Structure 1
Amino acid sequence: MAEWKKLAKALILAEGHIDTKEVRILRQAFLDYDRIDAEELVFLKELRNQAKSYVKPFTELYIDSIKNYMLAEGGYLNPEKAKWLRQAIFADGQVDEDEKRLLRELKAEAKQISPEFEALYQAAVEK
């Protein structure tokens, strides 16, 4: 049996572009069940990094998915989550406006943040 992630990635990225139809399918698969897990989040991160281009709704799905995962478990942005975010945001060596928006929204919506998240926020948003 083919590994679902490799197959899905190959199908989604076949043309190098993630379109609205693909985003609709991904959103239904990942967020219609209320919670996204770490494996699904990594899958979306890999799609984002490997796509040559994508529509704005994919960015929204990616941000919504990260927020869903990060704010689960009582809304505490713990050190492990901050580490994952740091790696995801700085993977390409730059922080874009969507990533800054994500960090601002996370900080505003979190019930508690760790010093590690605060350090990430300072480095990415307030530099």
Structure 2
Amino acid sequence: MNWPAFAKKLLLDDGRISERETELLRRAILADGVVDKEEVAFLVDLKRSAASVHPDFDTFLFSVLEKIILADGVISDEEARWLRKILFADKQTTPGEVEFVQELRRKAKSVGPEFEELYRDCTQLRESMFGR
């Protein structure tokens, strides 16, 4: 059985991810104390496929991404490219995603040029979509 596909079908039965479903996901994904990129990919796929997600889902997703990306305090070009694929997969960005990128920049000890480009793209997109 394809467990990720089955879980996705159950979670998105009504087209959205609720607060309760977010808590169930959080417990399941954090159960072993380690979050890998495969689990992040699952969460990102859920978010893209859902008509709506509870704000707690975004908070959880961003916290997981932050732990992976800032594990060593440095945002490498490879990590920035991976993050770009996640954030811009739908060719748009949300105010929450822009705030997340800004927060990463504040917390990182150093960032590579790819992240600086991602940061500029996010802030420019935010300004064009939402104003300052």
TM-score by length of 2: 0.87
1:42 is matched with 41
Q: Please, which runs of 5 or more residues in structure 2 have no aligned partner?
A: 126-132
Alignment RMSD, CA only?
Answer: 1.4
Residue 78 of structure 1 contacts residue 114 of structure 1 at CA under 8 Å; is this kept in 2? Answer: yes
CA distance in 1, matches of 2:109, 2:32: 23
> Quick check: 1:17 aligned with 2:16?
yes
Q: Please, which runs of 5 or more residues in structure 1 have no aligned partner?
A: none
CA-CA distance at 1:23 after TM superposition: 0.5
2:84 is matched with 86
1:27 is matched with 26
- Write the deviation string for residues 98-122 of structure 1: whole angstroms up to 9, x where unpaired: 1101101111111221111111101
> Quick check: 1:96 aligned with 2:124?
no
CA-CA distance at 1:84 after TM superposition: 1.1
CA separation of 1:31/1:126 partners in 2, compared to 1, >3 Å: closer, same or farther? farther
The aligned amino acid for 1:42 is: A
CA distance in 2, matches of 1:39, 1:22: 19
The aligned amino acid for 1:117 is: F
CA-CA distance at 1:34 after TM superposition: 4.2
Identical residues among aligned pairs (%): 35
TM-score by length of 1: 0.91
- Write the deviation string for residues 10-34 of structure 1: whole angstroms up to 9, x where unpaired: 1111111101111001111223544
CA distance in 2, matches of 1:26, 1:49: 16
Runs of 4+ in 1 over 4 A off after TM superposition: none
